[in-house]
Amino acid sequence: MYSPQWIDLDGVVNMRDLGGLPTESGEVVRHRRLLRSDNLQDLSPEAIETLVTRFGVSDVVDLRTHVELAKEGDGPLRAVVQIRHHHHTLYREDSTESGIPAAERALPWETDERHEAAAARQLAGADAAHRRSHEEYWSEHYLSYLATRPDSVVAALDAIASSEGAAIVHCAAGKDRTGTVVGLALKVVGVPDELVIADYAASAERVPAIMARLRSSTAYAANLKDKTVTQQSPTTDTMRLLLRTLDERHGGALGWLGTQGWTRADTDRLRRKLLGDRG
């Protein structure tokens, strides 16, 4: 039975500790080793103190794009000298070299959404059975992270494995990009599919609060204007489909990682980090 270990701090609405999840071999993910969250821009000084002293946060793995960083600016954790920051965008077209300042560009997924809308219009008269479901759309979207930015996915996992204390993985909402990277990390150390799926879907509980928070930011407000809670909510079938596709195409998460240079030594490092007696 999965029960989310929510961390309710001022400035975030979707932060939780992955500690307590059992593996198929009977081990347990340790508390205060891997946290996941929505973006950290609004953390209060008291919340920062809690993360540093109570949770022992040493590393932040930021999956947001260059565009988001430019639009939102440095978050308050950047001022904490003992915390290492790792930025790994999951969008191929998100580059610092486009010639257009990042703060003036559209969010990378807005282009994807325009293409999706055009495809939907073309299919308007087609049989409904040929249209992608909500789950298929999102699982394919997550697979695109692996296809277009495998370097960032592997680097994010390496940052978790190499962290001295607790690592926080986050994006904007803390459900899609974060859910993909965290799901892979949990699979590498042997957490069963059903618990990986349950953790992924737990963010649905916080989607109304996530959307309210992001709509207060100029970086995301326009993009979220016409989106609904249902459209933005993760479902168990989305992650189940993603894991099934990895199994069928690559022999699982470790099989895919192996094609990207991930080694047994890397797996052992991540296992020691998340399961061992010491971080």
Q: What is the mean pLDDT of the chain?
A: 90
State yes or no: pLDDT of 85 exceeds 70: yes
User: Residue ranges per domain, the chain?
Assistant: 5-275
- pTM for the predicted model, two decimal places: 0.90
Give the span between the Cα atoms of 95 and 98, in whole angstroms.
6
The two three-digit tokens of residue 206, written as one number: 């916080």
Q: Beta 5-6 vs 16-17: how paired, if at all?
A: antiparallel
Instruction: Please compute the mean of the pLDDT values over residues 215-239 and round it to a whole number.
Output: 94
Instruction: Please compute the mean of the pLDDT values over residues 79-87 and round it to a whole number.
Output: 97
* CA distances from residue 98 to 63, 90, 94, 267 in whole angstroms, order as listed: 19, 16, 8, 35
Check residue 94 and give its pLDDT. Answer: 61
Cβ atoms within 10 Å, residue 88: 21
Pick the CATH number of 5-275 from 3.40.1350.10, 3.90.190.10, 3.90.400.10, 3.40.50.150: 3.90.190.10
State yes or no: pLDDT of 121 exceeds 70: no
